[in-house]
Amino acid sequence: MSLSGRFCLRCGKPETLENPLIEGLCLECFLKERSLVRLPDRVALTRCPACGSIYLKGTWLHFSGGVRDALQHYLRALKKPVVSPNLTEIDVEVLGIHKGEAELLVKSCFKGRSAEQRVVIRYEVINRLCPKCLGVKVKDYNAVLQVRFAGSPSRELTNEVVRTLTSDREISGSITDYEELQEGIDVKFSIASVARQAAMHLRNSLGGYLTESWKLHGLVKGKRHSKLFVVLRIPVFTSGDLIDSRGVLLEVLNVKEERVTVRRLSDGKLLNLSIKSLVKDGFRQLSRDDYVTTECLVTEALGREAVMVCEDGTTAKWETARPLKAGDRVSALTYKDVRYIKIR
């Protein structure tokens, strides 16, 4: 029996003391259709990569937790437009963050009943040194670490650089400036040896090759003063990527520190190359639009020559990297009008 004579507009359940209506709906239907709180679909969190402080409502707030905690703090501090005055004790918990998406648990209380809702929003972390970290240190730096990417880096990769730099206390304590530029990331250090250590640290986790140079930076008290420049070039490719190095098509198998193992697709040969030489030769990373692939069935084979029928309708005889037999299945890849047979 409904006390008020009102019913849920969706499921028709009558309103009772235990089941009060909110905006004309029972709580279950409300949670299915509406949001407990209006949150932006996308938030940008400005955070200091050196000390973890976050920028909130026009000021910097000292904060020592990681990105998840910082995001939670940020969301809790956001002024959330009230959906219904009957919803009280609103709280937001960040359950997890992954690749720019945050899963939230929004909790509230409605006339004595607790209500929960899971929401996914997109977030972005903008790295900016806070005035405290900048002010104290910006005046003197003795080394610059320049992280450069061969190819365009994803936000994930840039964040990984920041994570690696800030995970070490000695490294993060020596950072005097951090700047994301079109061409990469510049990080200034007060201690030259720490800059070198940071570069090695990054190279060990992300691969790449290092170069070092000292540049004269004026006279200090009559003495020549130089600054150390360390450049780390990080390749933006991983296992399975295809690259064109001077017209030679290579499949990346493994990247380790300064070296990369590739398979030359023209003859299936494995090569171990230095990333330095690859960068020097000006390689190009292929995107999915650069080539087409098709699956083929070997119908006849003699030595390294095999006749194949492919799903794209072609039938032809190809020379392959190693002998095949009738019945073998291979994939073929066409790039710049040349067909390559991929054999594992």
Q: Contact residues for Zn ion (CB under 5 A)?
A: 8, 10-11, 13, 26, 29, 48, 50-51, 53, 130, 133
Q: How far is the CB of 279 from Zn ion (least distance, A)?
A: 33
8 Å CB contact between 248 and 224? no
Q: How far is the CB of 217 from Zn ion (least distance, A)?
A: 25
Between 30 and 209, CB nearer to Zn ion: 30
Q: How far is the CB of 309 from Zn ion (least distance, A)?
A: 59
Q: How far is the CB of 115 from Zn ion (least distance, A)?
A: 13
What number of other Cβ atoms are within 10 A of residue 126's Cβ? Answer: 11
**Angle, CA of 62, 173 and 127, to the nearest 5°:** 55
8 Å CB contact between 238 and 252? yes
Nearest to 192 by CA among 163, 171, 209, 217: 171
Q: How far is the CB of 190 from Zn ion (least distance, A)?
A: 14
Exposed e or buried b per residue across 75-97, where buried means at least 16 C-beta atoms within 10 angstroms of its C-beta: beeeebeebeeebeebebebeeb
Q: What is the 3-state secondary structure (H, E, C) of 120-157?
A: EEEEEEEECCCHHHHHHHCCCCCEEEEEEEECCCCHHH
**Angle, CA of 41, 45 and 48, to the nearest 5°:** 170
Nearest to 67 by CA among 102, 18, 29, 32: 102
Q: How far apart are CA 7 and CA 14, in angstroms?
A: 4
Between 13 and 264, CB nearer to Zn ion: 13
Between 34 and 276, CB nearer to Zn ion: 34
For residue 60, give the amino acid letter: W
Between 23 and 300, CB nearer to Zn ion: 23
Locate 52 and state its tokens. Answer: 């973890």
Q: How far apart are CA 344 and CA 335, in angstroms?
A: 19
Q: How far is the CB of 106 from Zn ion (least distance, A)?
A: 19
DSSP-derived 3-state class of residue 162: helix
Between 29 and 330, CB nearer to Zn ion: 29
Between 11 and 316, CB nearer to Zn ion: 11
Q: How far is the CB of 132 from Zn ion (least distance, A)?
A: 5
8 Å CB contact between 330 and 324? yes
**Angle, CA of 55, 78 and 85, to the nearest 5°:** 170
Q: How far apart are CA 186 and CA 136, in angstroms?
A: 18
Between 48 and 324, CB nearer to Zn ion: 48
Between 48 and 262, CB nearer to Zn ion: 48
Q: How far is the CB of 7 from Zn ion (least distance, A)?
A: 8
DSSP class of residue 75 equals: H
Between 6 and 38, CB nearer to Zn ion: 6
Q: How far is the CB of 92 from Zn ion (least distance, A)?
A: 25
For residue 222, give the amino acid letter: G
